[in-house]
Structures are given as structure tokens and as C-alpha cells.
Structure 1
Amino acid sequence: MSNPSSSWIAQFNPGDRVEISPRDPGFRGSWYAGTVVRREAKNTNRYVVEYDQLYEDESGEKLLQETLDWIQLRPPPPPPEKKVQFKFEDEVEAFYSDGWWEGAIITEHSGGKFAVFLRGFEEQIVFEEKDLRLPVQWVKGKWEPRFEQVQREKEVS
């Protein structure tokens, strides 16, 4: 694969904190925290990354390292500018099984808890507000809200 000529393609350096989107079918729609170990010399669009909380084996002694395409990496998203008021039908990412997973709020519970349907698991799980975030997209080198978020903000205005 040749180097794309677009200047906006993410360039990561060893030690950079990233979120990783694995391509394995059981991990679609998820993002995991990790660190860039190095960039491949022969294919500069590929990086060796190490996950923060995924391990190579059941013993949990050696963190998993993978070589991935640049498109599977992004910087960690910035914290929200203001407190998010989650509500029914919001598209969210929920922290579950060591990563952030795509889902939608299907029920609001008392005490700041929400039932979320996680697409990757095809099940409903109750989360505390602290384990939810609004999804954002890393597009051409900058963070952008997803379409649903833009629509929601227009409705509130």
C-alpha cells in the first residue's frame, strides 16, 4: 500500500496515547485505549500499538500488541465542553469489557443510570452516567460531533 498523499492523515509517534478500533468481528464498534509502540519502517501507514487492558493470554501478564492500519487509530477524544444530559434514544459509547462500545439509550433509570442497548453484544446493560460518552468522529485531523449529536443540539437551541 502506498502512502496516501493527503496531509490530514494521522501521524502518530512512539508513546502517543491512542484509541484503537480492532477489526476482528467480535470487536466492531468498539474503541480501546492504548499506546503507539512504533511505526512500521516498510509501510508507514501501519503502527505497532499496545493495548492498556487487553492481554495476549489468559494469565494477564503480557499486554497485547498488534500491527494496525492508521485508519484504526485516533487520539483519545477530548472531554465534553459541558456536562452531557443523556436521554432516551441518545446514541452513546459505553465503557464495557475494557473498551468503549457503540449503543443507544433505551431506558432512563433513577440515580443517573441508563439502560443501553450495546450493538456489539446485542444486549441491554445498565450503566452509570460516568460510564457513558457521546460519540465523536476523528475526521481529517479534527474531532467532529456525529450527525445525531448535531441534530440534538439544533433541537435544544
Structure 2
Amino acid sequence: MAQFKPGERVEVNSNDRGFRGSWYAGTVVRREAKNTNRYVVEYDQLYADESGEKLLQETLDWVQLRPPPPPPEKKVQFKVEDEVEAFYSDGWWEGAIIAEHSGGKFAVFLRGFDEQIVLEEKDLRLPVQWVKGKWEPRFEQVQREKEVS
């Protein structure tokens, strides 16, 4: 079971309808005293009110949390058919690159939205998995690196 400390940066996964496959940035506020595998997290960009003045806080199970992924060790050369996480609508969403545009932009199909959008390279990252306390590349990424080598 993961243990996160107050003030620690995390990403939150939601299984709520319309949010599957997304990760949102936040900070651990505290661990619950009665149920120690639950944490109160304050989101960076999701708000509790319509005015956008009060950040949303939620109590979440530890399995919904992970540390933010580390930056890539080397510059990623994205290409068509790459599986990616795309920053859109205040969170990171699962998707796939379906076309390359000029100026470092890519058309990405976002599964959670069932639509295509064009994003800049800075808004894309290769997906990784948090497994047993360490980051591991997804299968597609391992296969891609073998092809490049």
C-alpha cells in the first residue's frame, strides 16, 4: 500500500463516468485517521464552486493516487500511432496520435471524449504505469524502443 505525506504532489485517477482514463494533478492534504488507506487531496485545477475561487478537495482511496511521472530521460520523438497521455481539459487523458501537423502539433484521438483534437508537443507525454512503487513503461513503449534500437 502506498503511503503519501501531506504536501506531497500526486496525480489522481477517477473511475467516475466521463473521467475514466484521466489523471489530474493535486496535493495530499492529509491521510484519514479512521481509514488510513484514504487521503484528502486538493486538486490543482479543479474547483469546488462555479466562481473558480475554491479548489476542490476529495477523499480518495490510495489506489487512485500515484506520484507525478518523472520527465523523460531523453527528448521524445512522437509519431503517428503512438499511445500518449494528452493534457486537455485540466487533466491528462489517454489517447493516440492519429496525424502530425506542422509546427510541432499533433492530432490526437482522446478515448475519454471520443473525439479528435490538435495539441502541441508540450501537451503530450508517453504513458507509464506506477507498479509496486516504481515507474514502468507500458508495453507499447517497450516495443517502440526495441524498434528504434
TM range (shorter): over 0.9
1: distance between equivalents of 2:16 and 2:58?
Answer: 12
Tell me the SS of whatever aligns to 1:153.
helix
**Residue in 1 aligned with 2:6?**
14
Unaligned runs of 5+ in 2: none
Q: Which runs of 4+ in 1 moved over 6 A?
A: none
2:71 match? 79
Quote how far apart the aligned CAs of 1:42 are. Answer: 1.1
Q: Quick one: distance in 1 between partners of 2:59 and 2:32?
A: 8
Q: Secondary structure at the match of 1:27?
A: coil
Inter-partner Cα distance in structure 2 for 1:154 and 1:30: 27
Partners of 1:113 and 1:62 in 2: CA distance: 33
Aligned pairs, number? 149
- Shift of residue 126, structure 1, vs aligned partner: 0.3
List alignment gaps of at least 5 residues for structure 1: 1-8
CA distance in 2, matches of 1:102, 1:58: 27
Question: 1:35-83, CA deviations, whole angstroms, 9 ceiling, x for partnerless residues?
Answer: 0011011111110100000001211111000011101000011000000
| TM score, norm. by length of structure 1 | 0.93
The Cα RMSD (Å) is 0.6
Once residues 67 and 23 of structure 1 are traced to their aligned partners in structure 2, the CA distance between those partners, rounded to angstroms, is 14
Q: 1 CA distance for matches of 2:48 and 2:14?
A: 14
SS in structure 2 opposite 1:26?
coil
Moved more, 19-28 or 46-55: 19-28
Aligned equivalent of 1:153: 145
**Percent identical residues:** 91
In the alignment, the residues of structure 2 paired with residue 50 and residue 22 of structure 1 have an alpha-carbon distance, to the nearest angstrom, of 14
TM-score, normalising length: structure 2: 0.98
